[in-house]
Structure 1
Amino acid sequence: MLKYAYYPGCVAQGACSELYLSTAVLTQALDIELIELKKAACCGSGTYKEDSQLLEDTVNARNIALAESLNLPLLTHCSTCQGVIGHVDERLKEAQKNDPAYLEQVNGYLKKEHCSPYKGTTEVKHLLWALVADYGLDKLKEKVKNKLTGLNCAAFYGCYLLRSQDNLAYDNPFQPESLENVFRTVGANPIYYKGRTQCCGWPLSSYATEQSFKMAGNHLQEAIEAGADCLVTPCPLCHLNLESRQPEIEKVIGKKLKLPVLHLPQLVALALGISPDKLGLNRHVVSNKPILEKLGL
């Protein structure tokens, strides 16, 4: 049995609670054990370092140390959490070799708060990488009960997942195939389009809303024109911008879209024969009825 220290992140416990739900349902179906890090803090979504790199490193060193105390890899299901915490892990492991004084400073702050020190003994891994590299696509294929035959899925990776870390051990950051390989494994057709590796526009949305929505709208239109029945993303922030804000995007670009957007565990769980009712699909703003009808569900 695979076992991970589970870092759910903030968004999956709030605005995208269907991601939290579907991750639990999927991992249970695959006999993957998750030990939730209930004392973990928000990774900062890249904003801490705007004030202080030391702040970002210390907060996330504590998050990683919680997983180290369990002798388990830290599992994320958010591209942004993966990018931030994974990059901190890389930076602190580098500091162990070349700048031990900096790591001592980080651990000094943790000690003041009676927290375990960062040791650099574990790995930060997204659910996508866990499925592809740890569980394995051949084994996943054996679990498929409801092949998603005929469903055209367009990936939206999220820029944090692909390019925040210096080393991406499980895929090519500029020509990724992990999501598409998952689609093939569950019987769906991968759809390629220009925007699949680009930014969704979420980071702009608080101060340049129209530009953010135009960016998201371009990606959605490209996917539709390429023949996609849905987008599938491993990032809840991408999901918020591309799915929950789609009615607002339509007003900005002056076009109807109505393209369903699924979280990665929702798609895989459907292929395992899990009922849509158990995956929070009814929480989405854009109706998933067209893809469920296409799959006979």
Structure 2
Amino acid sequence: MSTSTLKYAYFPGCVAQGACRELYQSTGALTKALGIELIELKKAACCGSGTFKEDSQLLEDTVNARNIALAESLQLPLLTHCSTCQGVIGRVDERLKDLHGKDPSYVAQINGLLQKDGCSPYQGTTEVKHLLWALVADYGLERLEKQVTRRLSGLKCAAFYGCYLLRAQKSVTYDDPFQPESMENVFRAVGATPIYYRGRTQCCGWPLSSYAPKESFSMAGMHIQEAIASGADCIVTPCPLCHLNLDSRQPEVEKVIGKRLGLPILHLPQLVALALGISPKELGLDKHVVSTQSVLAKLK
């Protein structure tokens, strides 16, 4: 794909249009500043965040085959900015591409269901790509670095990859699923210092939060404390569900672990857009539960 004409079918997902509206804002601001065109898939459905397959694998596959087919009809890659959406939709795409050869009748069954709904068939002709991969592989870090107008020098950033981005699919083309570096490389490109700590590739605890909140918040608290102990000024995540557990639930986390934390949690596009000179207000940095003022103070 030519770096001068980057264009994607944009799948914003549910959380970025609801509880984490600032992610939707900052993705729009960042891609506009970089000259990346997004065609939002207004007719797309929730990916199910991994729950559909607990009832029916066919349900998860059909819903997300439809999402992918919407992008295919535009002849564009499907862009997500949610690790969970990436993991679920990417996994379905991977499965169905494999089944095209091994079990074409299953893919035909899915396409029959899509046809009944008046949808285009799934063909397996595009790619599901997270915003992180688009920045690293399509836009390019050297090009990104040239766009920086406010180097984030002195800001120490701890990545929190979470589970789905790295290990939901059988293969991760753009990084090592156990020793990733893509987010840290983005940090370096915008002038920030990467902080490494044990929990950066582990689960945030969100999947447990509805039925085992104490255990969920203990997990989140452990990761946040490790990041603080390693010297982080903030955690940066490519997943809004991780953001919910680490930011909006941080007051509850503090109660469970009996310790004050106060560590800001940024969405990936917020961090990058700050380095491009976009205002904190435009990026929704005033919408977080944990104040981001300590991060902004480092940039003055």
Question: What residue is the counterpart of 1:164 in the other structure?
Answer: 168
Residue 142 of structure 2: aligned partner: 138
In 2, Cα distance between equivalents of 1:114 and 1:269: 39
2:110 pairs, out of 101, 106, 113, with 106
CA distance in 2, matches of 1:228, 1:97: 47
Q: Which one-letter code corresponds to 1:145 in the other structure?
A: T
Q: Return the offset for 1:77.
A: 0.1
Residue 54 of structure 1 corresponds to 58
Q: CA deviation at 1:291?
A: 1.0
User: Residues 36-47 of structure 1: matches in 2 within 5 Å?
Assistant: 36-47=40-51
CA distance in 2, matches of 1:213, 1:21: 27
Could you report, residue by residue, the CA deviation over 1:131-171 in whole angstroms, capped at 9, with x for unpaired residues? 00000000000000000001000000010000000110000
Distance 1:151 1:294 in 2: 6
Work out whether 1:72 is the aligned partner of 2:44.
no
SS in 1 for 2:169: coil
Is the aligned partner of 1:209 residue 2:217? no
* Partner Cα separation in structure 2 for residue 239 and residue 190 of structure 1: 18
**Equivalent of 1:89, from 90, 93, 98?**
93
Cα shift at 1:241: 0.1
Q: Of 249, 255, 260, which aligns to 2:253?
A: 249
Letter in 1 for 2:15: V
Confirm or deny that 1:129 pairs with 2:133.
yes
3-state SS of 1:114 partner: coil
- The one-letter amino acid paired with 2:274 is L
Matches within 5 A, 1:109-120: 109-120=113-124
Amino acid at match of 2:178: F
Runs of 4 or more above 6 Å deviation: none
| Alignment match, 2:281 | 277
C-alpha distance in 1 between matches for 2:118 and 2:276: 43
2:16 maps to 1:12: yes
Question: In the aligned structure 2, how far is the partner of 1:102 from the partner of 1:251?
Answer: 48
Cα distance in 2, alignment partners of residues 271 and 113 from structure 1: 44
TM-superposed deviation, 1:294? 1.1
Aligned match for 2:194, one of 175, 190, 195: 190
Secondary structure at the aligned position of 2:194 is classed as strand
Structure 2 equivalent of residue 240 of structure 1 = 244
Distance across 1 between alignment mates of 2:213 and 2:98? 37
**How many angstroms apart in 2 are the aligned matches of 1:19 and 1:168?**
24
SS of 1:231's partner is strand
**TM-score, normalising length: structure 2:** 0.98
Partner of 1:23: 27
Alpha-carbon displacement from aligned partner over 1:239-265 (angstroms, at most 9, x marks no partner): 000001101100110000000000000
3-state DSSP class of the match of 1:279?
Answer: coil
CA–CA distance in structure 2, aligned partners of residues 104 and 235 of structure 1: 32
Determine which of 194, 198, 203 is the counterpart of 1:199. 203
Tell me the distance in 2 between the aligned counterparts of 1:181 and 1:2. 21
Query: TM-score, structure 1 length as denominator?
Result: 0.99
Distance in 2 of aligned mates of 1:288 and 1:55: 40
Q: Identical aligned pairs, as a percentage? A: 77
Structure 1: which 5+ residue stretches go unaligned?
A: none
RMSD over equivalenced CA pairs, Å: 0.4
How far is the alpha carbon of 1:277 from its aligned partner?
A: 1.0
Unpaired runs of 5+ in structure 2? none
